[in-house]
Structure 1
Amino acid sequence: MPMTQPVMFQPKPSGACTQTSSPLVILASTGTGGDIFPFITLGQGLLERGLRVLLLVPAFHEAIVLAAGLPCQTFGTHDEWQALLNDPDLWDERKGWGVLWNGLLPHLHAIRHIVQSLPADQSCVVLAHPLMVPMAALARSARPDLRIVCACLAPANLCSSHDMLAAGSLRIPAWMPTSWRQGLWKLIHKTLIDPLTLPGLNAARRQHSLPTVPHFFEHIFTAPDAALGLFPAWYASAQPDWPTAFAAGDFVSTALTGQAPFSPELAQFLANGAAPIVFTPGTGHQHAARYFNTALKTLQRLGRRGLFVTPHVAQVPERLPASVMWQAHVPFSALLPRAAALVHHGGIGTTADAFRAGIPQLIVPFAYDQFDNGLRAKRLGVADVLLAKRLSVRRMQQQLAHLLDSHAVDQACGAIAQKMAQQPALPWLLDRTEAVLFAHQPVNSAATDAPALDETAQYQPERA
């Protein structure tokens, strides 16, 4: 398995490391920027608190982790991840899971290799992106007492049958009985998820005499010792079918320390006219030419200025008028308060950035949790949803015009921005994260509760 070690964690010699020394926290994530940035922010905070931290990410993201000053180990190669991004099926709501999983499959032993390299008396815990949970569970064949916490970035990660707003692009009506929703989830897992994921996962588990996993997402829910929601309870409240040992958290800012300010060209563009409408399909999307072409025509019809944000310039129209600018990267925490609206894919981090800025959102979901995030933002009154497969200039123009002109939307945006400003700061979330990682957190509690952990509420995680 190809592994690079840019700032490889060096364990202390066995005689110098005891159970009373600071435990190693492995933060394991995969995906595009929105999946990586929250782990970087948490890693920086935990490191500043004196904890030993190691980020495990695809090699493609090595540079941003190192720039954040964090110890890092990578799996795979830059070319492997670039090939994954090159696959248009990555953004297909039915095929995307298979693309992601096939990219992870050759590297399922990455966490196991890390824990094997540690002295036996070096304590270690894992905070894992949901897709990295099977990798963490495999590591238990080397360390059966390994504590695993699943970091749920979005409510859709939890596959609830109670607060189920969408199944891919299919919107679920409120009147649908819970039993029907449960049946729909079973059908999705049986036909779309399990056949793609279980053969490779169980082959890897058999190598270490671990029991066969019958259901992929059930494994993600039952293997961890606890789950931490990286979103507030007002965005999605705990449901009866969520993991018992669930702790409510908060959104993690995507603003990284050390991010460059606006380029001189962008600063001048923002100063020389009305607030632009910002368009982005997400950092990893490089098959969005139709999206940007539609956006340009929509701006021209509305007579508005626009800003296109994507690192993949090849998908942006070759000739842009003076009223429209392209930028590869812009810190949204600084940009969005100066924007009129945001049109985006529905990534949870981008959605939260727009909440903070108090601006309307037109969410154009392609796959994954984007559909659910879009409908949650719409339910809050600050957004509308336009499915990517139904994208047209007419629809985008109509929905943007409504969002920009609606007094009710403007009031809702202000209310949500105020709610975001009143949320606990990062130190509270770091307290919460530490508590969950080291098994003294409250479970199923409100965002500001801090009672001692009820150990009897813990479910029993899967063990080797």
Structure 2
Amino acid sequence: MARPEDGAAPPVFRVESSRVLALETGILSPIHFVVVTIGSAGDLFPFMAMALALRAAGHRVSFLAPVQHAPFVEGSGLDFIGLPADEAVLHDPDLWHPTRGFGVVWRATRPGMARFNAFVDALPGDERLVLLVHPLALPEADLCRARRPDLKVAAAYLAPQNLPTVHDPLLVGPWRVPSWVPFSARRALWRWGARTFIDPVALPEVNAARTARGLPPMASLLSDLFGLADLSLTLFPEWFAPTPPDWPQPLARAGFPLFDPKPDAPLAPELLRFLDAGPAPVVFTHGTGNFQASAYFRDACAAVRQLGLRAILLTPQRDQVPADLPTSSLWQAYVPLRRLLPQVAALAHHGGIGTTAEALRAGTPQLVVPLAHDQFDNAARVTSLGVGASLRADRVNAARLAGKLTQLTDIAVARQCAAVKARFEGSDPMRTVVERLEALAGEGGHVVEQARATAGGNGPQ
């Protein structure tokens, strides 16, 4: 896993000086934002970006995240509360299974969520309080609201797949539902998926906790979870995923946060020498949290050898990379993608939303090799935009990788990459996030109840 350099300055989020002065003089009232996330660095960084932006706007911020991410947060100035997490989950082969992966992630988050509840319960009752949480923390956020009805809850969604819909593109794991399948069948498919893969894992514990706090039980996590937030935020833009009619309301759209804790870190000398020594290479990664990618990197080496290309292999685990790398390939534990991607020919990766967004911003053709979670949906959107190709991880071999990489050299792909790159110019997603969260704190009543009254519910029914 990447580690920030000692003394690295955190990114600066600027706000209007008149607004900060108003907060300091009491004309505006500061809000206490409790920002909560789970998961890997890919989950951490967008929430850290929001926490820093809220702090820059003059608010008190408490940042709750898995304790192993402390090295990323140290030096940022955030009030960090480490949540217990078992890193052994990274070695569970089911973590990257298309249907069993949810259960692994859910069970890994529960100890931290208990700490989250205890933290909020102990806060002073006279604060203006907003909980900004990862979607998997929504059940606990609702428990906090049962004791403090005045607090507000906002959920931030990092990828489109995190929000259920019956509209296209509709994927069940790696399997895409044809566009001609009627909505009635699509809703039945969602209900079947919830009953089979999600509710047996999550509902018993969730409903036991709800009963203990005097809340009614959920009928299904999938249908009930997304109606809990007073505000839903998407951390991806409309052009990447247009808003379907069955996403929860109220909904605020913001762009990709694209956060790096050390954006100005210099590239390693051996990497600079490698980049200068020949044609632009292809970069291969399969996620910092993937401990099961040895076959992927072995096939990547064979594919570039077949095509006569150079390669950079990114993984914190050196033992996943072949020991006898030729001079045309280089292993690196970590490189900031925003520094590296403008200098490479293509990026092959797992389809995590943060990696996907960095390639879109850089205008880099990408080959998405999805394993689980939101990665199949992200891959579908990359191919739909015309900026890359996709190959399921369970179908990877050297010949298929080589064939897909060849597709990325098409002039039409380069043209689309440039067009998408231009969409990032002038984007200020954190300003949107701060403004919408401040507006939420100033609203009266439970906003989700108002939305339900007008929208008739949330999520696929």
Q: Structure 1 residues 215 and 414, CA, compared in 2 at 3 Å: closer, same or farther?
A: same
Aligned-residue offset at 1:436: 4.5
1:421 to 418, 425, 430: 425
Q: Distance in 2 between matches of 1:437 and 1:373?
A: 32
Q: Structure 1 residues 338 and 139, CA, compared in 2 at 3 Å: closer, same or farther?
A: same
Q: Distance in 1 between matches of 2:75 and 2:323?
A: 31
Q: Distance in 2 between matches of 1:328 and 1:67?
A: 22
Q: Distance in 2 between matches of 1:105 and 1:356?
A: 34
Structure-1 residue corresponding to 2:435: 431
Pairing of 1:99-114 with structure 2 (within 5 A): 99-114=104-119
Aligned-residue offset at 1:83: 0.8
Structure-1 residue corresponding to 2:393: 388
- Asked whether the equivalents of residues 72 and 261 of structure 2 are also in contact (C-alpha less than 8 Å), the reply is no
Give SS of 2:74's match. Answer: helix
Aligned-residue offset at 1:457: 5.2
Q: Structure 1 residues 129 and 215, CA, compared in 2 at 3 Å: closer, same or farther?
A: same
- Asked whether the equivalents of residues 152 and 440 of structure 2 are also in contact (C-alpha less than 8 Å), the reply is no
1:51 lines up with 2:56 in the alignment: no
1:23 lines up with 2:28 in the alignment: no
- Asked whether the equivalents of residues 33 and 130 of structure 2 are also in contact (C-alpha less than 8 Å), the reply is yes
Give SS of 1:318's match. Answer: coil
Structure-2 residue corresponding to 1:262: 267
Q: Structure 1 residues 202 and 333, CA, compared in 2 at 3 Å: closer, same or farther?
A: same
Q: Distance in 1 between matches of 2:406 and 2:283?
A: 14
- Asked whether the equivalents of residues 105 and 201 of structure 1 are also in contact (C-alpha less than 8 Å), the reply is no
1:42 to 36, 39, 50: 50
Q: Distance in 2 between matches of 1:365 and 1:433?
A: 33
Aligned-residue offset at 1:19: 12
Structure-2 residue corresponding to 1:119: 124
TM-score w.r.t. structure 2 length?
A: 0.88
Q: Structure 1 residues 206 and 19, CA, compared in 2 at 3 Å: closer, same or farther?
A: farther
Structure-2 residue corresponding to 1:446: none
Aligned-residue offset at 1:257: 4.3
The alignment of Structure 1 onto Structure 2 pairs a total of residues equal to 429
Q: Distance in 2 between matches of 1:373 and 1:93?
A: 14
Structure ranking higher on relative contact order (CA contacts 8 Å, 6+ apart): 2
Aligned-residue offset at 1:196: 0.9
Give SS of 1:308's match. Answer: strand
Pairing of 1:123-142 with structure 2 (within 5 A): 123-142=128-147
Q: Distance in 2 between matches of 1:61 and 1:335?
A: 23
- Asked whether the equivalents of residues 345 and 370 of structure 1 are also in contact (C-alpha less than 8 Å), the reply is yes
Q: Distance in 1 between matches of 2:112 and 2:379?
A: 32
- Asked whether the equivalents of residues 310 and 328 of structure 1 are also in contact (C-alpha less than 8 Å), the reply is yes
1:94 lines up with 2:99 in the alignment: yes
Aligned-residue offset at 1:434: 3.6
Structure-2 residue corresponding to 1:73: 81
Unaligned runs of 5+ in 1: 1-17, 444-452
Structure-1 residue corresponding to 2:414: 410
1:214 lines up with 2:222 in the alignment: no
Aligned-residue offset at 1:308: 1.1
Unaligned runs of 5+ in 2: 1-25
Q: Distance in 1 between matches of 2:279 and 2:125?
A: 61
Give SS of 2:71's match. Answer: helix
The farther-off stretch of 343-352 and 201-210 is 201-210
List structure 1 segments (4+ residues) > 6 angstroms apart after TM superposition. 453-456, 458-461
Aligned-residue offset at 1:429: 4.3
- Asked whether the equivalents of residues 352 and 374 of structure 2 are also in contact (C-alpha less than 8 Å), the reply is yes
Q: Structure 1 residues 187 and 460, CA, compared in 2 at 3 Å: closer, same or farther?
A: closer
2:384 to 375, 379, 383: 379
Q: Structure 1 residues 186 and 454, CA, compared in 2 at 3 Å: closer, same or farther?
A: closer
Give SS of 2:81's match. Answer: strand
1:63 lines up with 2:71 in the alignment: yes
- Asked whether the equivalents of residues 342 and 364 of structure 2 are also in contact (C-alpha less than 8 Å), the reply is yes
Structure-2 residue corresponding to 1:251: 256
Aligned-residue offset at 1:210: 2.3
2:311 to 301, 306, 314: 306
- Asked whether the equivalents of residues 387 and 413 of structure 2 are also in contact (C-alpha less than 8 Å), the reply is yes
The farther-off stretch of 244-253 and 63-72 is 63-72
Structure-2 residue corresponding to 1:178: 183
Q: Structure 1 residues 203 and 456, CA, compared in 2 at 3 Å: closer, same or farther?
A: closer
What is the alpha-carbon root mean square deviation over aligned residues? Answer: 2.3
Q: Distance in 1 between matches of 2:39 and 2:303?
A: 30
Q: Distance in 2 between matches of 1:20 and 1:120?
A: 19
Q: Distance in 2 between matches of 1:287 and 1:183?
A: 34
Q: Distance in 2 between matches of 1:388 and 1:338?
A: 26
Aligned-residue offset at 1:141: 3.1
